[in-house]
Structure 1
């Protein structure tokens, strides 16, 4: 897939899951380095936001926005995955007061390769948002082709309301 960062074109390695696909089983890690298998089988919809680095302006804005929106969607689980260290994520959550979503760190290689979001030239994952139904099927996906831009919040929040 083609993405840009400040207008510079780069390629991801592989293809991300599309609407209608069953999301692949991937592992990310919580603040205690405990493995979390995604998608979770909680019987809830899942909004899965993948961001390059939580310590950048756009990733921070996006994650804080989803943290705020989680209050409006009690029937949806909100998870953000980045390839930051658990310490960076813990410090960021404490500084920003983020408590309504789960922030997970990924082994960039496995998670990024399985989801098709690895951007070797960038050294991080591409920015993408998925909504999965209760069975783990992708019902919405948005690859943010300009990595330094935010996703279309209105469109994806409308999808969550369905």
Structure 2
């Protein structure tokens, strides 16, 4: 699959995943600098929203949309992963009033980006994507957005998260 950023082709590092795959583990940082892995949310459905930076318009809208949806989904944890520093994520969440989404930073070693095939080699950012992982760590939904500056299909992702319960 080819992905572009502002209409220029970019190289994604890692393996692109598909529904039915076992979700790979990763090690990212929470806003308090503690390590977070996939196993930390085992037993719940995870909607993983991947954005280049919460400080941009589309990423802001995406995170707010999934924050709103999270309050209506039972047994679904919504994780937003970017390479923003944990301090910036914490500041953004406080300013935006985002409380239902856990923001996670992949800035340290791109563990998530490489495992999920979203790390953009040329920019050291993550490509926009959405994954739904069920409570037994199977991926049930995947969307890699072809143009990083475009929105994902919010409705399909939210429906997939609700159906994964």
**Range class of TM-score, shorter chain:** over 0.9
Question: Distance in 2 between the 1:53 and 1:139 partners?
Answer: 25
Matches within 5 A, 1:1-162: 1-106=1-106, 107-162=108-163
Q: Is the 8 A contact 1:47 1:130 kept in 2?
A: yes
Partner SS state of residue 110, structure 2: helix
Unmatched 5+ stretches in structure 1: none
Partner SS state of residue 73, structure 1: coil
C-alpha change, 1:154 and 1:7, in structure 2 (3 Å) is: same
Range with bigger deviation, 45-54 or 35-44: 35-44
Structure 1 residue 110: Cα displacement: 2.5
Structure 1 residue 44: Cα displacement: 1.4
Query: Residue deviations 1:25-44, cap 9 Å, x none?
Result: 10111111100111534311
Question: Distance in 2 between the 1:35 and 1:89 partners?
Answer: 15
Partner SS state of residue 13, structure 2: coil
TM-score, length basis structure 2: 0.92
Structure 1 residue 74: Cα displacement: 2.4
Count of aligned positions: 162
Partner SS state of residue 104, structure 1: strand
Q: Is the 8 A contact 2:66 2:78 kept in 1?
A: yes
Partner SS state of residue 77, structure 2: strand
Query: Residue deviations 1:86-112, cap 9 Å, x none?
Result: 111011001100001101111243322
Q: CA RMSD in A?
A: 1.3
Q: Is the 8 A contact 2:41 2:77 kept in 1?
A: no
Question: Distance in 1 between the 2:97 and 2:5 partners?
Answer: 28
Unmatched 5+ stretches in structure 2: none
Q: Is the 8 A contact 2:80 2:101 kept in 1?
A: yes
Query: Residue deviations 1:32-78, cap 9 Å, x none?
Result: 11001115343111101111111111111000110010011022111
